[in-house]
Structures are given as structure tokens and as C-alpha cells.
Structure 1
Amino acid sequence: MVLPEYSSSAEVAVERWDNGAVSSRSHDMVAEEVPVALEYNGISHAVMMASPADLEDFALGFSLTEGILQDRSELFDCEIVAAEDGIQVQMQIATERFVALKEKRRNLTGRTGCGLCGAETLQQAVRKPAPVASQARFSAAAIYAAMAEMQKRQHLQQVTGATHAAAWLQADGHVGLVREDVGRHNALDKLIGGLMQQNPPADFASGAVLITSRASYEMVQKAASMGCGFIVAVSAPTALAIRLAEQAGVTLLGFVRQPGHVVYAHPQRLVAA
């Protein structure tokens, strides 16, 4: 959903330079970035800078990967409201989950490049999901084809050149869903939320998450917390992300650009073509 008041891109006037001088004046399309306040039972919990699209998916995915909700059934209602300075996502959640949220509440101001801003303790900053039980298996050829398909479906990126994407590679080798955002964490949360909105919800143990960014700790943590055991990144992982993938039993691939890639953890899920 994109609110009528907001678009995910905007047209701006630009000067184009070549060899040290203005060569032309024209217009360009740029990505929008909007403050999105996530509210639970009337209380604001986090403000994230995000693309103003698929915000219901974002709200559910964020709530699940941050441990605020344990199941999608605990989200009773989600309303997207345009505010003067941004967008409010007003959620009504189960009383038990709201009480637990208040007990461990933190002040979190999100940024497109940082997912841990505002964590108050080391335990909050580095969370370790339970080991996954994924039986997903994919060939290198299937992964390269899926990465190419994801790129074709990055419509906002094609227009603006400024967004990340996260995609779901199904067990049958097809890309089932793609979500985009100016923030890589947001794109993954939107993907997870979108997959959980399906009826029935996606089986995270059966497929792989594809991301257009580096594989940071939080990207691995979010995917693993949903039971996903296969993460494919176009760029490099961090050392902490690799250690987390090893501990959680997650297959982690980086620098995935046909005809090559690097396997950083649990190569057993990668099969010969």
C-alpha cells in the first residue's frame, strides 16, 4: 500500500556535468524517504526512515523479527495514517505481547544504515536465534537465475537507483515475492511480513532469502529468527554475521554474481547443478 499523500519516488530538477562543466539541465527520479512511526496499542515504539510502500508488511515483519510478536495472529489490527511530518502505523496487538513490550521497551530511532540504534544493553544488541531446521537445497544455477529475476522485479531501483531489495526463493526455484526499500533492513522486514500475510504463511524452512546488500549481523538474525536457513547476498557478510550463521545453522553466501560466489557458512545446502 502506498498512501495517496506519498509516492515512493519524486521528480527533481538536476544539472548534468561532463568534463568539468554543465552539459545539460533536465529532471531525474529519486527515492522518497519518510519517517514511519510504529505504534503499539497507542504507544510509539520506533521511528524508521523508510520507503512509503508495503507498510503493513513492514509493520508485521518488524514486529516478528524484533520479537515483539511471536505469531501473526497476535496482530489484531494495523492502520496506516498520514501525519503532518510522516506516517503513523497504528497497530493493536495482544495484551500479553504489549505487556512484554513495555517491560523491555527501548528507545529506538532507526536509520537506513543501522538497525541497532537505541539498544540499551549488549544483550539487546546481539540476539541469537535458535538453530534453524531448514531442509532447503539449491543449486548455484538456481540461485543465479533467482538473483537475475529479483533484479528484473526491482522496479523502484530501476527508476531511482537508490533502493535495496529482498526476495524469497521458493523451494521450486522460483522467486515468489520481492520487496524494496531505501533501507536494507526494512526491505527484509517487508519481505518477511509479506510472506507471513500469505494464506497459508510461507514455510521459511523451505526456501532462501535473497538480498541486494551486504549480509550484516541483523540481516542474518532476522532471517534466522523466522527459521530461514539459506541467505544469499550480493555483497560481503560481516564477521559477526558469519559467526551467527555458523551458530544458527544458516547457509550464508556472499558476492553472488554469476558465475561465482563465496560460501561462508554451512555449504551442505548448496547442491551440484
Structure 2
Amino acid sequence: MHFPPLLHLRPHGAAADEEVAVEVPVALTVNGISQAVMLATPSDLEDFAVGFGLSEGWFTSRQELLDIEALPQADGIELALTVTAACEQRLKSRRRTLAGRTGCGLCGVESLAELGSRRPAVVTAPALQPGALDRALAALPPAQPLNARCGGLHGAAWCSSSGELLLAREDIGRHNALDKLTGALARQGADPRGGFVLMSSRASFELVHKTAMAGAGLLACMSAPSSLAIATARDLGVQLWAFVREGRATRYA
């Protein structure tokens, strides 16, 4: 079964169809063992698998991931990941099942103790050139073709220190969009340390954590930050900007 990223539906009482974002269960398995089920937009799913696996610590490098296969199911999609034997052994020691939501707060954690153990290395923020955030912000809408059609998708973009938008991904969930972006960077062998992440959403703890796990040192978000996002950014050395809008940006960490 094929799942398109957008669906044509006619609202009640309307004269014409509209395009709406598709949200489907995406099950991730590693060497045949179920690890997580997320709700996501069915686009760039190989990028999603790589980014989610790296942010969750399922594997520590792209080289440990041997294969990805997308398997359509009756009510969703299975992303079957094949990893090395050493990686599988590490996973068995911390296996748990995750039920994910698009608006979740702590997507990969089943206890506060585990949250504390998933600490990425301290990162270094790039030196932003004047006007970089404004240039990146202006480039984001054209880089979201699906959102332009339905208005329901978050965007995650990778930008140079001068504000040039180099890569973008979309998803109905902001965390998924960032996983897709970091997965795409990993698959391309790009070094995330020289630029920054721009998100169309608010700044949450998990976005800060995923940014640091990817090795990036700066996160800029269009909407407000949470207190835990600010504290985490300061703790990990991530430079955090929020309320990034035309002519405005506030630095919180």
C-alpha cells in the first residue's frame, strides 16, 4: 500500500477538495525486533530512520547501519533497519518499546534515569554572520513545498553560518522533521558543526537534545522556548535562539 504525504479531502459543506497532511504509524524495527512506533508524514522515511536511530543512540555512526527497507503494511509502514551484531547487542541491553506521538515531549525515554544517561557531547556553536537568521528565515517557506500546499507541516532546515539554507525536511511532527534533517545530513556525510538548525516550531527540550546529538551547536526556532529547552541548551553548550521572525530574534543560551 502506498501512502502519499498529502491527501485530497473535501471538508464538510465545501465545494472543492483540500490537501491535508497525511499522518500514519511508522514502525521501526532493528534486526527484526520492534523498537518504536511513531506517527509521521510518509516522506523521506530513510532519512527519518537514520536520524531517529542516531538521536536515540541505536547506533553511533552511519557505518553501523547496514540497510533500511520500507515495508508497507495494512495500516502503516515498517522501517526495517539492519545493524551490525555489536550494535544489536548494545540494543538488547536497553530494549524498550516506544509509542510516539507527533506532539510528544520525551520521545525516546521510559524513565528519568534514562533521560540523564542520554547525554550528547558538548558542542560548539558557529559564529553567525550578520543577518544570517533573517536570510535563513526568508528561505524556509520556499523549502517547504508540502507545507505550502496544506499548511500543516513543520520544517527543519540546515543553514550555513551566513544564513544560506542548504537542506530542509518536512513532517507533521517537529521532532520527526528534525530527525529527517539530521538523517539526511548523516547519509550525505555532511559535517553539522559549521552551520545551524532552523525550525518552524517552538523550541522544546527534545529539539535541543536532538540538535546536540546530531553534533550541531546552534538551534534557531520561530516560536517560543520552554524553560527545560533553555536549561538544556545552556547545559550542553547549544546556542539557542527563539522568536526568530522577520526583524527579531532573542538569544536564550
Q: Same fold (TM over 0.5)?
A: yes
How does 1:101-140 map onto structure 2 within 5 Å?
Answer: 101-116=91-106, 119-126=109-116, 127-134=118-125, 136-140=126-130
1:147 is displaced (CA, Å) by: 1.1
Partner of 1:242: 230
The answer (yes or no) to whether the contact 2:134–2:163 under 8 Å persists in 1 is: no
1:145 alignment partner, SS class: helix
Q: Distance in 2 between matches of 1:190 and 1:166?
A: 8
Contact 2:128 2:162 in 1 (8 A): no
Is 1:62 equivalent to 2:52 in the alignment? yes
Q: What are the within-5 Å matches in structure 2 for residues 25-44 of structure 1?
A: 25-44=15-34
Q: CA deviation at 1:125?
A: 3.3
Aligned twin of 2:242:
254
Distance in 1 between the 2:107 and 2:145 partners?
A: 29
Is the contact between residue 244 and residue 250 of structure 2 (CA under 8 Å) also seen in structure 1?
A: yes
Task: Report the Cα distance in structure 1 between the residues aligned to 2:198 and 2:44, rounded to whole angstroms.
Answer: 18
Gaps of 5+ in 1: 17-23, 266-273
Q: Does 1:5 align with 2:2?
A: yes
Residue 214 of structure 2: aligned partner: 226
Residues 1:133 and 1:101: Cα distance change in structure 2 (over 3 Å): same
Determine the C-alpha separation between the residues in 1 that align with 2:172 and 2:232. Answer: 25
Separation in structure 1 between the aligned mates of residue 209 and residue 127 of structure 2, nearest angstrom: 20
Q: Cα deviation per residue 1:65-88 (whole Å; 9 max; x = unaligned)?
A: 111110000000001111111101
Deviations 1:237-258 (CA, angstroms, capped at 9, x unpaired): 1111111111111110000001
Are the structure 2 counterparts of residues 118 and 92 from structure 1 closer, same or farther at C-alpha, using a change threshold of 3 Å? Answer: closer
Question: Deviation at 1:117?
Answer: 5.1
Show structure 2 runs of 5+ residues with no match. Answer: none
Q: Is the 8 A contact 2:123 2:215 kept in 1?
A: yes
Please report how far the alpha carbon of residue 233 of structure 1 lies from its aligned counterpart in structure 2 after TM superposition.
0.2
Could you tell me which residue of structure 1 aligns to residue 36 of structure 2? 46
Q: State the 1:140 CA deviation.
A: 4.8
Q: Distance in 1 between matches of 2:174 and 2:140?
A: 14
Instruction: Give the superposed CA RMSD.
Output: 1.5
Using a 3 Å threshold, how does the CA distance of structure 1 residues 75 and 10 change in structure 2: closer, same or farther? same
- 1:174 is matched with which residue: 136, 143, 164? 164
* TM-score, normalised relative to structure 2: 0.95
Label 1:118 to 1:142 Cα distance change in 2 as closer, same or farther (>3 A).
closer
> Which has the higher Rg, Structure 1 or Structure 2?
1
The whole-number CA distance in structure 1 between the counterparts of 2:93 and 2:15 is: 55
Aligned length: 252
Distance 1:115 1:142 in 2: 29
Task: Classify the secondary structure of the residue corresponding to 1:227.
Answer: coil
1:210 maps onto 2:198 in alignment: yes
Partner of 1:94: 84
> Runs ≥4 in structure 1, deviation > 6 angstroms?
none
For the residues of structure 1 that align with 2:105 and 2:48, how far apart are their CA atoms?
A: 14
> Would the aligned equivalents of 1:57 and 1:191 in 2 still touch at CA under 8 Å?
yes
> Is the CA contact (8 Å cut-off) linking 2:26 and 2:40 kept in structure 1?
yes
Structure 1 or 2: more strand by fraction: 1
Deviation at 1:173, TM superposition (A): 3.3
| Separation in structure 2 between the aligned mates of residue 108 and residue 59 of structure 1, nearest angstrom | 14
Measure, in 2, the Cα distance between the counterparts of 1:77 and 1:118. 22
* Partner SS for 1:96: helix
What amino acid does structure 2 have at the position aligned with 1:14? Answer: P
Counterpart contact for 1:35–1:85, Cα < 8 Å: yes
Equivalent in 126, 141, 157 of residue 131 of structure 2: 141
The code of the aligned residue for 1:95 comes to A
Instruction: Specify the code of the residue in structure 1 equivalent to 2:237.
Output: G
Please state how far the C-alpha of 1:115 moved relative to its aligned partner: 4.3
- Sequence identity (%): 45
